[in-house]
Structure formats: C-alpha cells, structure tokens
Chains A and B, each alone.
Chain A
Amino acid sequence: GDSVTQMEGPVTLSEEAFLTINCTYTATGYPSLFWYVQYPGEGLQLLLKATKADDKGSNKGFEATYRKETTSFHLEKGSVQVSDSAVYFCALSATQAGTALIFGKGTTLSVSS
C-alpha cells in the first residue's frame, strides 16, 4: 500500500542553520504531497503542498519539490529560527477517491539560539 518514510529525529540545530528533512514515498499513480507542522500543544497545520511532479511548494521560508524520479519531497529551509521548533510531518494523498491522508512518522526539530 501507499506509505511515507521520513528521516528519524530529533533534529537539533542552531539558529540560522540550514535545514533538510528527508521524505520519500511509495504510491501508485500521482499522489499529492504535503508537509504539515505541529507546534507544541497544538494540532497540525498545513505548511506547504505540491500536487504534481516538479511542483515546488513554499511557505514561511520552507520549500519542498515534488521529485517523481526519486519519489521524494524533502523539506528545506535556508535559515531556521527558534520559532521553527516543532514536529514536521510529510504526508501523501492518493489519487483514488475516498482515501485519507497518509502521514509519515514525524520529525522533531529543535532549534536553539
């Protein structure tokens, strides 16, 4: 079945460091891909998405490019801030009607000043 694999955390960085969180997927057809973020004590929020190959999603300085050839959707940010500390989830949505989002296991990011 469809699945998402994310790099294990936690990821610990200093402020202004470069961030990469790897995400690869397995799916039939052409799924849509998402990054969600969960701040402490809150529900998940959509960070960015891409719906077809070579699309780049971006928001709040974060970017991810839908790479069909490598089945990847890695999250990047050039300069992280303390306020980016959160859990990041990669997710895919299959093309079949009536299916829900499938999430990766989440990667905890901790940024220190």
Chain B
Amino acid sequence: DTAVSQTPKYLVTQMGNDKSIKCEQNLGHDTMYWYKQDSKKFLKIMFSYNNKELIINETVPNRFSPKSPDKAHLNLHINSLELGDSAVYFCASSQVIGPREKLFFGSGTQLSVL
C-alpha cells in the first residue's frame, strides 16, 4: 500500500482552467503539507494542515485553496491557472508538526499549464 498517494500523476491543462489535485495518506498522521517544486528542483512549502486545521499558509496566491475534509486527506484546488503555476506539486505527511518529524512524500503531480 502506498503511504502517501496523490492523483493525478500528470496534469496538462490550458491557462484559465480550474483544476484539483488530491492527496491521501494511510499512515494515521495528523499533519499534511503541500510543497511546490519548480523547474530548478527548488522546494517551497505552500500549506500545512494539522487535524484538518490550517496552520501554515505561506505567501501563495489566493487562487490556490487547500481543503482537508478529514485528517487523511488534503486536496489542492487551483483556480484560473497561469503559466507560472507549472511545477511539480508534492503532498507530504508527518505524525505531528514538530522539529524532529520525518516527512513522508507522495510521488508528485506534474502540472503543465499551456
């Protein structure tokens, strides 16, 4: 069983469209994250939820809206997609949010905006 699974793996879409990426973890973790990896492999935190509550919300356009229906799921909805949104988006989870916690990552969603 995959610990952190995200779908779809690839997403190709036109500018201006709205799309969602789904993430599920079966590890029983309390905390989930979305990271964005750009074309130079740089990883940046976008959001973090702990027990369905938003605890980290970095400087991200409000076109990006995370939703956590329960602590095992954290979905990312993106409105009005722009060329600059093209990247790989990684979902991750950890037992709790804390300085020593190990993160478990999904395999990524490669988003291409044309």
State which of B11-19, B62-70, B76-84, B101-109 sits at the interface with chain A: B101-109
State which of A13-21, A62-70, A95-103 sits at the interface with chain B: A95-103
Within 8 A of B (CB), among A14-63: 31-32, 36, 38, 41-46, 49, 51
Q: Show the binding face of A for B, using Cβ within 8 Å.
A: 31-32, 36, 38, 41-46, 49, 51, 87, 89, 93-95, 97-103, 105-106, 108
| Residues of chain B contacted by A44 (CB below 8 angstroms) | 43, 90, 92, 103, 105
Q: Show the binding face of B for A, using Cβ within 8 Å.
A: 4, 33, 40-45, 48, 55-56, 90, 92, 97-103, 105-108
Q: Is B107 a contact partner of A98 (Cβ separation < 8 A)?
A: no
Q: Is B99 a contact partner of A100 (Cβ separation < 8 A)?
A: no
| Residues of chain B contacted by A106 (CB below 8 angstroms) | 41-43
- A13 CA to B41 CA, complexed, in Å: 20
- Pull 15 A–B residue pairs with CB atoms less than 8 Å apart, ordered by A: A43-B92, A43-B107, A44-B105, A46-B102, A46-B103, A51-B99, A87-B41, A93-B99, A98-B55, A98-B97, A100-B48, A100-B56, A101-B103, A102-B45, A103-B42
Interface of B is mostly: loop
- A38 CA to B43 CA, complexed, in Å: 12
- A44 CA to B89 CA, complexed, in Å: 12
The minimal Cβ–Cβ distance linking A56 to chain B, given in whole angstroms, is: 16
Q: Is B41 a contact partner of A98 (Cβ separation < 8 A)?
A: no
Residue on B nearest A42 in the bound complex, by CB = B107
| Residues of chain A contacted by B103 (CB below 8 angstroms) | 36, 44, 46, 101
